[in-house]
């Protein structure tokens, strides 16, 4: 038996295993951005013992697509406190406008902290505004966080948060049926087109939004939510993946790489991906990378409106693709639109 552990096959086996474990460690640390060191654990315990807690006041307009700078600053400060082991109290009481995209991103960041860290503490409250508070309670937010608040049953106007790592055709059909039911539409050709778009968004998350090393890892998840606005008779929809972002995952020309570095041309790259003039997917497959052009086409056809795509430092709005550059980079890709009757 002794010879088994000194033979070449065993040494090769142990070498492969060592490389595999080293790769896993690297991927975990890369995804987390940093490892949870002993210094961080000690800092957290010290802050908790001395009742040190940072208070973060959410902007009154809590929306990533219409108030990008203030909300991005809020999340940057939240991450800073968590990274330094400081307990945080999130004050949502002054929120007067609460967008589905902000709720979705808040859930994603809380889930992400839970995946990467063992010592952190976040407390908070709910908006005083009745409409915002109801949205938070019925959106499915409290299914993803520990809280004294109990999630309320939806009144039928909210398709609560859904999340998964894989393509879920049932969920895609749920979204389309939800929009059709509230807007009085039939399941027709435009419904089929939007169903295909949703499938493409989900597939993108697993295929290249997180890079090759993160497929089938707990980090490669998509998130979505839909809310019916009775006053405007529209269905607000938000889709999020927390991956590397469109400007990182699409194939770039050398000039575009320089432009992205020097002039923050992320919005230009998102615009290119939306235009679909040629295949931009890093997979190189002809049938991949069609989701964004289909979304833009649906906007042009009038099936959806108020299209917004936010990724890294770029924000593109509407079918005419207004370009905006963000001061603070956004993690992943957020796509929002309104279904219309």
Q: Which string of DSSP letters, residue by residue, matches 276-337?
A: TSS--BTT--TTSS-HHHHHHHHHHTTSEEEEEEEEEEEEEETTTTEEEEEEEEEEEEEEEE
Question: Domain-by-domain residue ranges, the chain?
Answer: 33-148, 154-341
| Domain 154-341 sits in CATH 1.10.1450.10 | no
**pLDDT-derived band at 53, boundaries 50, 70, 90:** confident
Q: What is the pLDDT of residue 60?
A: 96
pLDDT tens, residue by residue, 179-196? 999 999 888 888 898 998
Q: What is the pLDDT of residues 256-315, one digit of tens each?
A: 444 554 445 777 777 777 777 544 444 444 434 567 788 888 888 888 889 998 888 888
- pLDDT for residue 209: 46
pLDDT of residue 103: 94
Candidate from 64-68, 90-94, 111-115, 237-241 with smallest mean pLDDT? 111-115
Collapsed DSSP state (helix, strand, coil) of residue 222:
strand
| Mean of the per-residue pLDDT values of the chain | 77
Tokens for 97? 């406008």
Percent of the chain past pLDDT 90, that is, above it, reads 29
Mean pLDDT across 199-206: 80
Query: Residue 54 is encoded by which pair of tokens?
Result: 């940072």
Residue 26 confidence (pLDDT) above 50 = no
Q: Which of 124, 170, 179, 151 is nearest to 303 (CA)?
A: 179
Please tell me the pTM assigned to this model.
0.77
* Residue 314, strand partner residues: 311, 325
Name residues whose C-beta falls within 8 Å of residue 340's C-beta, 6 or more positions apart in sequence.
183, 234, 302, 303, 304, 305
């Amino acid at each position: 038996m002794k010879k088994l552990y000194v033979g070449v096959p065993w040494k090769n086996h142990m070498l492969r295993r060592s490389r595999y474990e080293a790769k896993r460690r690297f991927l975990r640390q890369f995804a987390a951005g940093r490892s949870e060191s002993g210094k961080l654990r000690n800092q957290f315990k010290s802050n908790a013992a001395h009742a040190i807690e940072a208070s973060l006041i959410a902007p009154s307009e809590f929306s990533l697509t219409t108030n990008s700078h203030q909300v991005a600053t809020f999340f940057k400060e939240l991450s800073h406190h968590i990274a330094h082991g400081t307990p945080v109290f999130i004050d949502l009481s002054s929120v007067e406008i609460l967008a589905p995209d902000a709720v979705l991103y808040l859930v994603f960041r809380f889930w992400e902290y839970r995946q990467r860290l063992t010592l952190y503490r976040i407390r908070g409250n709910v908006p005083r505004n009745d409409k915002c508070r109801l949205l938070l309670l019925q959106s499915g937010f409290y299914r993803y966080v520990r809280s004294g608040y109990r999630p309320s049953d939806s009144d039928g106007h909210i398709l609560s948060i859904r999340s998964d790592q894989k393509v879920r055709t049932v969920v895609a059909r749920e979204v389309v049926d939800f929009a059709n039911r509230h807007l009085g539409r039939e399941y027709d050709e435009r419904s089929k087109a939007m169903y295909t778009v949703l499938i493409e968004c989900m597939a993108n998350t697993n295929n290249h939004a997180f890079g090759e090393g993160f497929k089938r890892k707990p980090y490669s998840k998509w998130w979505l939510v839909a809310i019916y606005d009775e006053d405007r008779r529209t269905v607000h929809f938000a889709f999020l993946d927390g991956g590397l972002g469109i400007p990182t995952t699409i194939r770039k020309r050398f000039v575009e790489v320089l432009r992205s570095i020097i002039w923050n041309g992320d919005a230009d790259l998102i615009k290119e991906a939306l235009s679909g003039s040629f295949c931009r997917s890093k997979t190189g497959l002809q049938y991949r990378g069609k989701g964004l052009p289909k979304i833009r086409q649906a906007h042009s056809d009038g099936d959806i409106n108020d299209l917004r795509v936010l990724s890294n430092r770029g924000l593109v709005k509407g079918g005419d693709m207004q370009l905006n550059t963000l001061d603070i980079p956004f993690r992943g890709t957020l796509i929002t639109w309104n279904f219309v009757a």
